[in-house]
Amino acid sequence: MTSETGVEAGAEARVGARHRATGARMSTGRAGDRIFAGAARGSGITVLAIVVAIGAFLVWKAIPALQDNQANFLTTEEWNPNAAEPRFGIAQLAFGTVMSSLLAMLIATPVAIGIALFISFYSPRRLASGLGYVVDLLAAVPSIVYGLWGLAFLSKHMEGISDFLNGVLGWIPLFGGDSPGKNSIFTAAVVLAIMILPIISSISREVFLQVPQSHVEASLALGATRWEMIRMSVLPYGRSGMIGASMLGLGRAMGETIAVAMVLTFVPGINWHILENGGSTFAANIANSFDEASTTGRGALIASGLVLFVITLVVNMAARAVVARRKEFA
């Protein structure tokens, strides 16, 4: 199916359409059928129109602010769109977004895959779905609650961890810096990691469920231990699925707003020392600056939201492409 050329696929679609058209003509003649089919089709097109409109309106409303901008939108670190001479750029926001969500992905992926392995292969069969539900509960907790928890509870405990990491790994520039704090990009990344655990683990579990039982049984029959079975038949089969899952988690982390906005303390400028207080992300900046934003300020925020939209779109599409490729080979 998928290997067919576009021409053939197009021809097939046309034939299919003709079939449906004749079928519709045969069965209908009744108004009800036409109305219902029209409503279903119309809803589908509405969904399409919404997504197109999102892109179009963000671009349209961002342009005036971008024209007023006195600085380079892509490379400037400061965010001052409300001044008489508005100067704003996304460099710091892009850095914070990418850094915090990449870290979150790196923290969450191994744990999430461990959870998926535990539920699929280690836990008692009868408990499996219940345990899956427990992990899904993590996804049910709203992000504002994670933010509150991160601010009041986690950040206190992160101070010690940050100090420790700074002491032991301080020679790595990323973990360096003089004053490790509790409202750092690292703390935000930990909160994000917790929030994206469920999506990564549930997609990985789905992939593991599709591993052919014969592969599993074959390796066990050859005397493999459980780990050897997983390493030789489950992980190779599920590799692209797991990569796709963690990329979907990355996309989710990039768009996360409130939890990050609550945990991070805004300090201007890019800071490579991720253990020090400071940093901001696209989404957190929008939530924090919206109250005081002027007309240009709102336009600037919309422009930064547009960039976020495009980045998450690319990441999500790439993730879905990776997951879909696995299906082809399956």
Return the residues of window 183-212 that contact another protein according to CB under 8 A. 194, 197, 201
The SS3 of residue 46 is helix
C-beta of 152 vs 168, nearer to another protein: 152
Q: How far apart are CA 109 and CA 304, in angstroms?
A: 28
C-beta of 57 vs 272, nearer to another protein: 57
Which residues share a beta bridge with 87? 80
List binders of another protein among 19-38 (CB under 8 A): 20, 24, 27-28, 30, 32-33, 35-37
308 binds another protein (CB under 8 A): yes
List binders of another protein among 117-156 (CB under 8 A): 117-119, 122-123, 131, 133-135, 137-138, 140-149, 151-153
Among 66, 71, 91, 111, binds another protein (CB under 8 A): 111
Cβ–Cβ < 8 Å for 182, 158: yes
Q: How far apart are CA 257 and CA 280, in angstroms?
A: 10
Number of residues that bind another protein (CB under 8 A): 97
Tell the smallest beta-carbon distance from residue 42 to another protein (Å). 8
Nearest to 265 by CA among 100, 151, 97, 105: 151
Among 86, 238, 241, 251, binds another protein (CB under 8 A): 251
Q: Residue 67 to residues 54, 60, 197: CA-CA distances in angstroms?
A: 20, 12, 40
Nearest to 235 by CA among 110, 106, 108: 110
List binders of another protein among 212-231 (CB under 8 A): 223, 225-228, 230
C-beta of 56 vs 169, nearer to another protein: 56
How many CA atoms does the CB half-sphere of 126 hold within 13 Å? 0
Candidates 66-74, 116-124, 203-211, 235-243: pick the segment binding another protein (CB under 8 A). Answer: 116-124
CB neighbours of residue 187 within 10 Å? 28
Candidates 58-66, 68-76, 80-88, 179-187: pick the segment binding another protein (CB under 8 A). Answer: 58-66
List binders of another protein among 158-177 (CB under 8 A): none
Rg (CA), the chain: 25
C-beta of 177 vs 303, nearer to another protein: 303
Q: Residue 174 to residues 99, 155, 276: CA-CA distances in angstroms?
A: 11, 19, 10
List binders of another protein among 262-281 (CB under 8 A): 262
What would you measure as the largest C-alpha separation in the chain, in angstroms?
Answer: 78
Candidates 71-79, 176-184, 203-211, 247-255: pick the segment binding another protein (CB under 8 A). Answer: 247-255
C-beta of 44 vs 173, nearer to another protein: 44
Cβ-count burial 119-153 (b if 16+ within 10 Å, e if not): bbbebeeeebeeebeebeebeeeebeebbebbbee
Quick note: the x/- pattern for another protein over 74-103, rule CB under 8 A, is ------------------------------
Which residues share a beta bridge with 79? 88
What tokens appear for 115 in the block? 């959870």
Tell the smallest beta-carbon distance from residue 194 to another protein (Å). 5
Among 290, 294, 328, 330, binds another protein (CB under 8 A): 290
The SS3 of residue 88 is strand
61 binds another protein (CB under 8 A): yes
Q: How far apart are CA 228 and CA 301, in angstroms?
A: 51
Candidates 50-58, 88-96, 176-184, 269-277: pick the segment binding another protein (CB under 8 A). Answer: 50-58
Tell the smallest beta-carbon distance from residue 74 to another protein (Å). 19
